[in-house]
């Protein structure tokens, strides 16, 4: 006869053995990912941080210069202007992006004829390359012969020179990026919508809720994690804006569409000031972190996704 205590003991030691075994296997399975993460994320980020304290120019110099890159950064009014530029972009772009993609998703979240075709159409711009899209948008936005100003003139409005005027250049970029990105966010929202159980709507309808009430009190709160994902990605995308601005306006007019990444590229690759560019990139990364945290707070996501 084995005493109860002994049984307990051997059971627990077996469990511990099993636990250890599982832990070993677990670590083994995450090892490849962790290694990749280490090699391609942690080490390069660490190196970039180190470079931001040097005058590294790829070819001839790599000396420690302390904080002087960051000191120069504080004086660099153009760099801070690019943050104002992408800040404006984000304030207009992120809410519009959420609103339009949610509306599209709600509209197309039904089993009607032709819905799949429409979903495909709305998604297509996402698949277009930024350069090709920008070429077409330049045509659409041409002050004299573009379609946009053509439509405006039918209403008696003289349209602006969209990409060449300081007031409208960023708006032109917002229009183009919205057109390009609502499709993919619509897909994410569609996935979110499919995950909302039908009984919530059924019981709400029984209690006399209107369609708008359903949207306001069921759909929107249930989509909170999705909204968090979409808005965070949009904010990060806004801070990292580069290719559309590069192709559509080349950062002009009057620096109105220059972005932090644009300057980082210019300093790093055109001017070979990799040390300074690394400092700029680090400040940008910190800004992205801060804004992601703010977005997380605002969404008060109960199930954090990150």
Partner 1 sequence: MKKAFKAIAAAMLLIGLLAGCGSGGSGAESGAGAGGKTKLTLWGDWGGDGQEQIQTMVKAFNASQDKIEVKYVLQQDVITKFLTAATNGGTPDIVFWDRWRTALYAPKNVLQPVDEYIERDGLNRADFYEEALKELTYQDKLYGLPLTVDTRALFYNKKMLKDAGMEPPKTWDDLEKVAKALTKWDGNKLNVAGMSLGDPGLFSMYIRQAGGSVMTEEGKVNVNTEAGKRVLDLWGRMMNEDKVYKVGFEEGLGEGADAFVTGKVAMLYTGPWMLSTYDKYGKDLEYGIMPPVAGPAGDTGGSMGGFGLVIPKGSKNPDAAWEFVKWWTANKDNALLWAKTSQNIPGFRPAVEDPYFSEDERWKPFLEALEYAKVRPTHPGYSVMEENALIPNLELFLQNKQSAEDTLQKAQTDGDRLLQENAVVQ
Task: Provide CB contacts within 8 A for 161, sequence distance 6+.
Answer: 143, 168
Whether the CB-CB separation of 245 and 175 falls below 8 Å is answered with: no
**Which residue among 6, 9, 11, 61 contacts partner 1 (CB under 8 A)?**
61
Q: Point out which span in 29-37, 88-96, 135-143, 277-285 binds partner 1 (CB under 8 A).
A: 135-143
Q: How far is the CB of 129 from partner 1 (least distance, A)?
A: 7
Alpha-carbon gap, residue 139 to 162, rounded angstroms: 11
Residue 97: how many other CB atoms lie within 10 Å: 24
Q: How far is the CB of 165 from partner 1 (least distance, A)?
A: 6
Q: How far apart (Å, rounded) are the C-alpha atoms in residues 146 and 248?
A: 15
Q: What are the CA-CA distances from residue 226 to residues 64, 120, 188 (Å)? A: 44, 21, 7
* Binder among 13, 129, 203, 210 for partner 1 (CB under 8 A): 129
By CB under 8 A, how many residues form the interface with partner 1?
47
> How far does CA 203 lie from the centroid of its chain?
36
If the CB atoms of residues 69 and 226 are measured against partner 1, the closer one turns out to be: 69
Binding mask 165-184 for partner 1 (x = CB under 8 A): xx------------------
Burial label for 79, CB within 10 Å (0-12, 13-18, 19+), is: buried
- Report d(CA 53, CA 204) in Å as an integer: 59
- Stretch of 42-50, 133-141, 194-202, 213-221 contacting partner 1, by CB under 8 A: 133-141
Both structure tokens of 67: 């904080």
Which DSSP letter does residue 255 get?
A: T
Query: What dihedral do alpha carbons 153, 155, 158, 161 form, nearest 10°?
Result: -60
Q: Which of 97, 163, 226, 259 binds partner 1 (CB under 8 A)?
A: 163
Any contact of residue 250 with partner 1 (CB under 8 A)? yes
Find the binder of partner 1 among 91, 131, 191, 294 (CB under 8 A): 131
d(CA 259, CA 276): 16
Of the candidate residues 2, 59, 112, 154, the single one contacting partner 1 (CB under 8 A)? 59
Q: Which stretch binds partner 1 (CB under 8 A): 5-13, 179-187, 270-278, 281-289?
A: 270-278
Residue 77 CB, shortest distance to partner 1, in Å, is 8
Positions touching partner 1 (CB under 8 A) are 55, 57-61, 72, 75, 77-78, 129-131, 134-135, 138-139, 141-146, 158, 161-166, 243, 246-247, 250-255, 258, 266-267, 269-273
């Amino acid at each position: 006869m084995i005493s109860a205590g002994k049984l307990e003991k051997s059971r627990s030691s077996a469990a511990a053995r099993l636990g250890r075994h599982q832990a070993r296997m677990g670590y083994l399975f995450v090892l490849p990912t962790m290694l990749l993460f280490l090699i391609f994320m942690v080490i390069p980020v660490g190196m970039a941080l180190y470079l931001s304290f040097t005058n590294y120019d790829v070819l001839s110099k790599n000396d420690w210069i302390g904080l002087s890159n960051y000191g120069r950064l504080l004086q660099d009014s153009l760099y801070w202007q690019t943050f104002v530029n992408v800040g404006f972009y984000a304030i207009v772009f992120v809410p519009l992006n959420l609103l339009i993609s949610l509306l599209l998703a709600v509209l197309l979240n039904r089993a009607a004829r032709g819905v799949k075709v429409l979903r495909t159409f709305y998604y297509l711009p996402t698949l277009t390359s930024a350069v090709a899209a920008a070429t077409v948008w330049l045509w659409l936005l041409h002050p004299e012969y573009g379609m946009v100003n053509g439509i405006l003139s039918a209403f008696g409005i003289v349209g602006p020179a969209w990409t060449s005027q300081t007031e409208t250049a960023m708006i032109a970029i917002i229009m183009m990026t919205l057109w390009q990105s609502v499709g993919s966010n619509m897909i994410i929202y569609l996935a979110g919508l499919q995950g909302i159980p039908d009984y919530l709507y059924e019981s709400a309808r029984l209690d006399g809720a209107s369609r708008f009430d359903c949207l306001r009190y069921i759909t929107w709160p249930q989509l909170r994690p999705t909204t968090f994902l979409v808005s965070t990605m949009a904010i990060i995308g806004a801070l990292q804006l580069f290719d559309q601005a590069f192709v559509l306006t080349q950062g002009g007019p009057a620096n109105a569409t220059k972005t932090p990444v644009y300057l980082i590229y210019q300093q790093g690759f055109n001017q070979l000031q990799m040390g300074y560019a690394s400092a700029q990139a680090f400040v940008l990364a910190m800004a992205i972190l801060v804004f992601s945290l703010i977005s997380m707070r605002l969404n008060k996501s109960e199930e954090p996704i990150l």
